[in-house]
Structure 1
């Protein structure tokens, strides 16, 4: 009888689930789209989930509480103007740096706004007890003070590849001679000059991030009313970091057990829905298939430079395929008969339509993941952020062609598109999709396993201790072999001089 009661108590306790806090105060919809399926799955499995975000759930669950930050900041802060990128690469890089700088400044202001808002007061006070805290690691460490506030184990979430400053936090190898920066159009086979450029880029962004976030420490300490360890050091305490990448598409990295790739997790339980009747008829009636063209929400409200727009429309007019184009303005002049422009499209459903033969995209990671999942080849026109790196790896994988935005003219655009539309490219995209899907466990099962284990066992020691060492110390011991080598060469040189130049040695002794 006693044994039965104990068993029932243990079972009932297990059914209660863990108490999970998710701190996701970034107003970028594309970021939250990666995390939302994880939150839903955790709640579905019986865990009690508290979500702090700008995107409260449209379909509430009994054991999920949404703390809405709506109204504290504008959404989709990364919206850009394509007119600014109609320039050579150097100027585009300058604009990209300017844009990211603006995002960093925005994050500092957002940190202050969120910390001092009434809705966030309970987390500043550390109210409630949580078994594990989930937090996004992106351009800011603002939430690390709150994670430290609860003294609970944490799991880091990343909607993109590891940022240049994130590798050292988790003890991952970021040797710039081997691993390219996410913002450069490079893969892991680089020339000497490319390695040199990559080294400057990686180290620049590391030091720049440290400088750009220098005021966060004081801001968080002032709000919490006490001294804290450095926020970037607190970030190193995450048991696991779940990264939205997969080595087949994003390249092979040397990662510690704490860095877990879950690329494609936003597709969990996502099903292909029937298209609206008029749209289904339009794409199905195209005897040569249709091409999907979308730059996502990144350029909402922008317009194409006239020169690029004219070239694109001329190419579309030459194609036997129909083109379905997602664009904010549906009144594009000179639109060919085979082109349909709409403000919104069910992208995932269209990519999985049997008549879809190609995708023209800016190379956002979510879009690239969806074309890989669907087995559709792409023409990638990267704009900024991680898109140049994504595009380079997609081309290396054989599933895409890449064209710089400022290089678009009628012939270059047409030739690049013709390469994408070959049967060989489509066959390769289908084969690559099969390899990408083949994993020991689905991305969601992997993510849930590590989150639950972190809650169950507390801190998981899966990151190498070297991440806690100071850089001068690391560099000193890494250079020991060279110091020994140079000392040996110097000693041999002295011996050679002694044996082969005895006269000079004797004069030296006499003097």
Structure 2
């Protein structure tokens, strides 16, 4: 009966033609979007999906355009031997500048490859009868040029927290005193020096992205399209809705226009729990004190860990009564304690859902952290790069995780952190927080679908702030203040002249 009802709903709903542009070769990003794409086709919409991860399923409502040939997939590419482990802000910032330059340079080069390829010919010519465009907002603005080329309403997709430049695109508040950068280990409650660090981080990233990425990609797009384009920031500001993979209960409160819609946990929609492989199931269920999952996700190659940190971790694990399941991509570890199982690949969500899983050691990637929160599993977060420090800070503030910087891993610090994570108090807080996190008026998926269909139905939605059209001097009332300053100067000069005249007059009176 339920299938008949579902079929009736699909037939009843209006079907839209949707173009999806996902130009980033990161697997974790695509894992957020794929359930949304599946749900859109299930509800009867027709999709053309341009991505590095074409679907292997046969679906008459979906056409995939593969970008696999244009770039290496970002899977297990981060080497922990070369990560920035210094606590010094200046050295960290220099390393950050180098990383950002390398990252953005690769993005600009990829943009040039894509827009000049035969694969993109139809999109450059604006072919296809589409109602709305879904486009990823991340480190490249390249696809925004194609959005403008079609002249269609668009919906932004973000698999991570807000980038430093996103609020200014849509007229949101990006005050560094209250808006912590995703790349800093801060929440809104910052000390003065943390605010200074945050200010430097946000200003650098905003202007680097605007001038290095925005201007270069705009120039390439204009050459390819044969016409002048507006600023890509302006195109981004015309986005009807931005769907962000966050939820304020975990990721903090932001002062933003209604165009920013939080859909944190959308990748868990209708996620089925699969039985664990027999060897892992046996290992986990037979552990009398529970099991701990240890994984650094899909981007970081955990087996590149420096010997200093590796030895500390092995010593601590040997002291714990729990069994550990560890995602390790290399060869067998020498002198591996008896309570550790290593696997090149792990069904992370299924292990976290196991009733005998008592803790999660993670890098703090948003997908991994979201899964731990959704399933009520306390975590030890060892942030390495990107948004992981910020994610970790908010999880710690919620009382559901401990944070240990990679540079501070030693036997004492790691053991002390694990004792806290494994405590009954933190376990209870994690379960309680999970209930709060799930308790929403609509599911993340239903929320996302609603706004996509609304944009397709009505065209561009006026949900962003007018502040996006003003520059900083205008936002700070400098044009109005100019009159005030001139008026104050005039009064001051007039008063000074008056006093001077009065003084001169008094002197003459005395002389007489």
TM score, norm. by length of structure 2: 0.92
Farther off after superposition, 305-314 or 76-85: 76-85
Farther off after superposition, 205-214 or 242-251: 205-214
- Distance verdict in 2 for CA 1:334–1:486, change over 3 Å: farther
In structure 1, the residue matched to 2:334 is 333
After TM superposition, list the pairs within 5 Å mapping 1:179-328 onto structure 2: 179-213=179-213, 214-300=215-301, 303-328=304-329
List alignment gaps of at least 5 residues for structure 1.
1-10
After TM superposition, list the pairs within 5 Å mapping 1:94-493 onto structure 2: 94-213=94-213, 214-300=215-301, 303-477=304-478, 480=481
- Distance in 2 between residues matched to 1:507 and 1:425, nearest whole Å: 81
In structure 1, the residue matched to 2:74 is 76
Q: Would the aligned equivalents of 2:172 and 2:467 in 1 still touch at CA under 8 Å?
A: no
In structure 1, the residue matched to 2:5 is none
- Distance verdict in 2 for CA 1:240–1:116, change over 3 Å: same
Q: Is the partner of 2:427 in helix, strand or coil?
A: helix
- Distance in 1 between residues matched to 2:318 and 2:11, nearest whole Å: 65
- Distance in 1 between residues matched to 2:487 and 2:45, nearest whole Å: 60
- Distance verdict in 2 for CA 1:497–1:384, change over 3 Å: farther
- Distance in 2 between residues matched to 1:151 and 1:475, nearest whole Å: 32
- Distance verdict in 2 for CA 1:353–1:76, change over 3 Å: same
- Distance verdict in 2 for CA 1:486–1:384, change over 3 Å: farther
Q: Would the aligned equivalents of 1:50 and 1:65 in 2 still touch at CA under 8 Å?
A: yes
C-alpha displacement at 1:486, in angstroms? 11
- Distance in 2 between residues matched to 1:21 and 1:208, nearest whole Å: 29
Q: Would the aligned equivalents of 1:28 and 1:78 in 2 still touch at CA under 8 Å?
A: no
Note the aligned Cα RMSD (angstroms).
Answer: 2.7
- Distance verdict in 2 for CA 1:306–1:138, change over 3 Å: same
Q: Is the partner of 2:456 in helix, strand or coil?
A: helix
In structure 2, the residue matched to 1:8 is none
Farther off after superposition, 82-91 or 192-201: 82-91
Q: Would the aligned equivalents of 1:20 and 1:50 in 2 still touch at CA under 8 Å?
A: yes
In structure 2, the residue matched to 1:59 is 57
Q: Would the aligned equivalents of 2:295 and 2:302 in 1 still touch at CA under 8 Å?
A: no
- Distance in 1 between residues matched to 2:157 and 2:235, nearest whole Å: 15
- Asked if 1:19 is matched to 2:20, the reply is no
User: Deviations for 1:317-349, whole angstroms, at most 9, x for unmatched residues?
Assistant: 000000110010141111100000100000000
Q: Is the partner of 2:449 in helix, strand or coil?
A: helix
User: Deviations for 1:275-298, whole angstroms, at most 9, x for unmatched residues?
Assistant: 112211110000000111000122
Counterpart pick for 2:48 among 26, 47, 50: 50
Q: Is the partner of 2:254 in helix, strand or coil?
A: coil
Length, aligned pairs only = 499
In structure 1, the residue matched to 2:3 is none
- Distance in 1 between residues matched to 2:309 and 2:504, nearest whole Å: 74
C-alpha displacement at 1:126, in angstroms? 0.8
TM score, norm. by length of structure 1: 0.92
C-alpha displacement at 1:299, in angstroms? 1.9
- Distance in 1 between residues matched to 2:492 and 2:471, nearest whole Å: 34
C-alpha displacement at 1:78, in angstroms? 7.9
